[in-house]
């Protein structure tokens, strides 16, 4: 029991006083957060609050201005690129692929961090790609070109490509945006299933607050590049948080959904702007 507890408490990814930006502007400011091994963390916050910027930095795709990111026990930037790529997979908000590439070809590209430049495609690479296709229900689509897939299927292919990488940490930037509700739900269920079966650590930026609360163990709210709330969704997700984050009054209610307690938020109206003290 003690062992299990310790494992659950293991911090796999930590940002300490992280500042990030582009050009003259600092976008993420002095952000500190800790991601525990095998948890699902959701990052929420208004447009432009720095969510994607933060996620990119956690994938080591953006240099750090100040602060530090620790992956496992060591500074992420002091680890070999390939080692980081083997441990962390990142799905950007959008990505263009050559439309003629097939599902199988793309998923196999996920193996690149595990192969030397001159190495051929090993049996292990083939097995990992096949497993990724199977886990995402894409075996029947393996030979199809990407252009012949729906948005939901394409998103699953991107997830499969990340899985083929056999990462410990999966970073997803708004994976459900542009999908209809059935495909959104299917994707969230798939992510949850992969988390449960593979013990993956998941950090995802989600636009949909109800999805964020329902599918995460850990909620991080960003506004203007700073952390406004960080904790268990049932503790930090409140009507006040929604107002402070988005300037929206909302109805927030605890409900039972599919046999589990969760909290739903229904936006009510745009909150009154505070002008000085007058409302
Ligand atoms: P979010 O994902 O929360 O909507 P982003 O992290 O994408 O926010 O963007 C935060 C801010 O950083 C925005 O003001 C955006 O214009 C700016 N920004 C994002 N990417 C770049 C970039 N590559 N170059 C310059 N500014 C950027
Ligand atoms: Mg974004």
Instruction: Please state whether 231 falls in left (phi above 0), alpha (psi between -120 and 50) or beta.
Output: left
Cβ contact 32:227 at 8 Å: yes
Sheet of 226-231, strands arranged across: 88-91, 169-173, 201-205, 40-44, 218-223, 226-231
pLDDT at 1: 44
Query: Distance between CA 204 and CA 91 in Å, rounded?
Result: 9
| Residue of 25, 26, 46, 53 to mutate, ligand 1, most atoms within 8 A of C-beta | 53
**DSSP classification of residue 49:** S
Opening angle at CA 264, ends 92 and 44, nearest 5: 30
Q: pLDDT in tens for each of the 279 residues of the chain?
A: 445 555 557 999 999 999 999 999 999 999 999 999 999 999 999 999 999 999 999 999 999 999 999 999 999 999 999 999 999 999 998 877 888 999 999 999 999 888 876 778 889 999 999 999 999 999 999 999 999 999 899 999 999 999 999 999 999 999 999 899 999 999 999 999 999 999 999 999 999 999 999 999 999 999 999 999 999 999 999 999 999 999 999 999 999 999 999 999 999 999 987 555 444
Thinking of the domain 39-62+74-237, which architecture would CATH place it in? 3-Layer(aba) Sandwich (3.40)
Alpha-carbon distance of 272 to 231, in angstroms, equals 27
Question: What residue's CA is closest to ligand 1, atom 7?
Answer: 52
Other beta carbons less than 10 A from residue 13's beta carbon: 23
Ligand 1 lined by 72 (C-beta under 6 Å) = no
Which pLDDT score, from 0 to 100, does residue 8 have? 57
Please report the sign of the dihedral spanned by the C-alpha atoms of residue 193, residue 155, residue 218, residue 261.
negative
Asked whether 24 lines ligand 1 (CB < 6 A), one says no
45 ligand 1 Cβ < 6 A: yes
Decide: 56 in ligand 1 pocket, CB within 6 A.
Answer: no
Confidence (pLDDT) at 95: 77
Structure confidence at residue 5 (pLDDT): 53
Question: What pLDDT sits at residue 273?
Answer: 75
Position 251 scores a pLDDT of 98
- The domains of the chain are located at 39-62+74-237, 239-279
């Amino acid at each position: 029991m003690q062992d299990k507890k310790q494992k659950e408490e293991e911090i796999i990814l930590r940002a300490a006083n992280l500042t990030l930006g582009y050009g003259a502007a600092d976008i993420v400011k002095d952000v500190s957060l800790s991601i525990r091994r095998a948890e699902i963390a959701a990052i929420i916050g208004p447009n432009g609050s720095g969510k994607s910027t933060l996620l990119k930095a956690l994938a080591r795709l953006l240099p750090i201005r100040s602060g530090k990111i620790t992956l496992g026990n060591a500074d992420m930037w002091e680890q070999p690129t390939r080692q980081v790529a083997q441990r962390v997979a990142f799905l950007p908000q959008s990505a263009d692929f050559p439309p003629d590439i097939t599902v199988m070809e793309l998923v196999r590209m996920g193996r690149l961090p595990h192969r030397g430049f001159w190495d051929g495609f090993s049996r292990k690479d083939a097995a990992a790609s096949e497993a990724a296709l199977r886990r995402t229900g894409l075996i029947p689509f393996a030979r199809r070109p990407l252009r012949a897939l729906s948005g939901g299927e394409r998103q699953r292919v991107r997830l499969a490509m990340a899985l083929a990488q056999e990462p410990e940490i999966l970073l997803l930037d708004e994976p459900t945006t542009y999908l209809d509700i059935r495909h959104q739900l299917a994707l969230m269920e798939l992510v949850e299933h992969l988390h449960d079966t593979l013990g993956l650590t998941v950090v995802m930026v989600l636009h949909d607050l109800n999805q964020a609360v329902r599918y995460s163990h850990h909620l991080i709210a960003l506004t203007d590049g700073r952390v406004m709330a960080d904790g268990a969704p049932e503790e930090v997700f409140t009507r006040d948080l929604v107002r402070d984050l988005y300037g929206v009054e909302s109805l927030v209610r605890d409900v039972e959904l599919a046999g589990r307690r969760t909290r739903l938020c229904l936006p009510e109206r745009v909150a009154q702007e505070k002008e000085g003290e007058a409302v």
